[in-house]
Amino acid sequence: MLAAELWTYAYPALKVMLRDCLVVPQLRRLGVPTPVLTAEQIEAITQTDGHRHDLAGAMIVRALPRFLERVVVENKWDQVRSALTTHFVNACLLAYPDVVKQWIKERYQLTSGFDELGLVAVRQDTELVIENRELVRAVVLRAPERIRPILTWLWLGYTVTEVAEKLKLNPSTIRSRLFEFRKGTLLPLVRSGQLIPPHGHVLQSSRLAVEAGAR
């Protein structure tokens, strides 16, 4: 019950702090070093709810077990200094540096093909990974509505920057949505064995990991 209450309070609070760029200043006041993010990474977090969802959830998951141990088992909580929920949010904030490092690593692996030099990773994915036209259609239909126009322009040969101009969006927003597409649509298909990445493809490591685990 306590864990559910803490999650219910901390999750929206952390998402707001991530959206409003309040996490890093708070940690700096506490003397906690944080990774330096690029402008594109900052925009991805502030503009994309999915990224904030992942980060906030990961911060809570990392902080919760130790927090419950300290509060419930060791009784290390000063009720005079702060409310329990506020105390927990601060504990989650301390998990941010490690969580965001992992987020950067995973995001790089999934977006390594997206740049502004004309390397259209999604088009490469669908040409190299998905050879069956019906499967291509099925994958597109699984994509969220806001992703489909992006995929259409990319498959016509336009770059990320050109697609952003046509859709009146920032290139970083396009890349963030493509990241969501890979993570939410392509990656599950690879892990389930429905899509077979070619040798050396960025998604191949996920398939190999699944195969190794099945042995």
pLDDT given at position 111: 54
On average, the pLDDT of the chain sits at 75
The ranges assigned to domains in the chain are: 2-111, 121-214
pLDDT given at position 121: 40
Q: How many helices and strands (H and E) does the chain possess?
A: 13, 0
pTM over 0.75: no
Assess whether pLDDT exceeds 70 at residue 4. yes
Tell which residue, 63, 127, 52, 55, has the closest CA to residue 89: 63
- Which residue has better confidence, 7 or 173? 7
Enter the tokens of residue 58: 């990961």
Looking up tokens 């040969």, which residue turns up? 157
Enter the tokens of residue 21: 């760029």
pLDDT in tens, 7-62: 999 999 999 999 999 999 999 998 999 999 988 788 888 888 878 888 999 999 99
Assess whether pLDDT exceeds 70 at residue 196. no
What whole-number distance in Å separates Cα of residue 86 and Cα of residue 80? 12
- Which residue has better confidence, 135 or 186? 186
Assess whether pLDDT exceeds 50 at residue 190. yes
Looking up tokens 């990320």, which residue turns up? 160
CATH assignment of 121-214, given 1.10.287, 2.60.40, 1.10.3470, 1.10.10? 1.10.10
What whole-number distance in Å separates Cα of residue 33 and Cα of residue 46? 20
- Which residue has better confidence, 143 or 21? 21
What whole-number distance in Å separates Cα of residue 186 and Cα of residue 94? 32
Q: Which residues of 163-198 are buried (b: 16+ CB within 10 A; e: fewer)?
A: bbeeeebebbbbbbbbbbbbbebbbebbbeeebebe
* Percentage of residues in the chain having pLDDT higher than 90: 24
What whole-number distance in Å separates Cα of residue 145 and Cα of residue 203? 23
Of 125-134, 135-144, 146-155, minimum mean pLDDT range: 125-134
Assess whether pLDDT exceeds 80 at residue 147. yes
Looking up tokens 């969501």, which residue turns up? 180
| Burial bucket for residue 83 (CB in 10 Å: 0-12, 13-18, 19+) | exposed
- Which residue has better confidence, 204 or 87? 87
pLDDT in tens, 54-107: 899 999 999 998 888 887 766 666 554 568 888 899 999 999 999 999 988 877
